[in-house]
Amino acid sequence: MILYTVLPLELVLEGIDRERTFTNVEINGINVVVEQVSANEAVIVRIISTDPQHFLDPSLQPGSRVRLTPSLVAR
């Protein structure tokens, strides 16, 4: 990866070694990768879909927050 930017590299990459955990969830039937930010909130990181129209959905834009509700499923 080559960064071509006017910003100093140490500013851009500060904290890149900090570990982040991403989870796969399904929102309205669309597979989405989220990063949990609190007990009941997560931020969308990316959409995993082969339907290009899913990427036009403003509610699924990366960076938008979603609420996580626990659900119980019998095994």
Q: Tell me which residues touch other proteins (CB under 8 A).
A: 1-7, 9, 12-16, 18, 20, 45-47, 49, 52-56, 61-62
Minimum distance, C-beta of residue 47 to other proteins, in the bound complex (Å): 7
Through-space distance between the first and last CA atoms of the chain, rounded to whole angstroms: 44
Minimum distance, C-beta of residue 75 to other proteins, in the bound complex (Å): 26
Stated as kind and residue range, the H or E segment containing 54 is: none
Cα(69)–Cα(41) distance, rounded to whole angstroms?
9
Comparing CB distances to other proteins, the nearer of 6 and 75 is 6
